[in-house]
Amino acid sequence: MDQQKKVFEMLNALDIEYQIMYHQAVFTVEEMDDLRITQYGDICKNLFLRDAKGERHFLVVLDKDKKADLKNIQEQLGCTRLSFASEERLHRYLQIHKGEVTPLAIINDFEAIVEVVLDNDLVGKNKLGFHPNDNTATVWISFEALKKVINQNGNRVHFVTI
């Protein structure tokens, strides 16, 4: 089954309202800005990180205009030094590729190993934009809907201030 279809089936199964916007493949927030996708809601930047020993993996979700201070996030999580995980790890844990990183990919994390880290400023937002595990579309859902997806999958959630 294709990645997008899996996302839509999961959203429908959880009775989550969403909107979908199809577009050419985009790999960066800047490309999304160029296509004016960012004018329809709050686009999120998503970072796939690992700790120093490679034992813990984190999917950090923050507003597209924020800069992630990895040392500050590390301190808030109480873990060892954070760095970007390899594309091989991204595919192993979330079954997606570079340029497709999204919190919706946790539906591919069957053992709920990846810890999701949400920026406190996202709480209460009504229209957050994410790729549906494929960078040729953007799905718009509320913050509450995102939390519902994460909780349903069983992944640990952390809230941090970025």
Q: How many Cα atoms sit within 13 Å of 155 on the Cβ side?
A: 30
| pLDDT number for residue 75 | 97
Taking every pair of Cα atoms in the chain, the longest distance, rounded to a whole number of angstroms, is 39
Q: What is the pTM of this model?
A: 0.94
Residue 85 has φ and ψ, to the nearest 5°, of: -80, 155
| pLDDT number for residue 1 | 56
| pLDDT number for residue 80 | 96
- Cα dihedral 123, 127, 133, 138 sign: negative
What string of pLDDT tens digits covers the 162 residues of the chain?
Answer: 588 999 999 999 999 999 999 999 998 888 998 999 988 999 999 999 999 999 999 999 999 999 999 999 999 999 999 999 999 999 999 999 988 999 999 999 999 999 999 999 999 999 999 999 999 999 999 999 999 999 999 999 999 999
Query: In this structure, what token pair is assigned to residue 160?
Result: 């941090």
In order of start, what are the domains of the chain with their CATH numbers?
Answer: 3-160 (3.90.960.10)
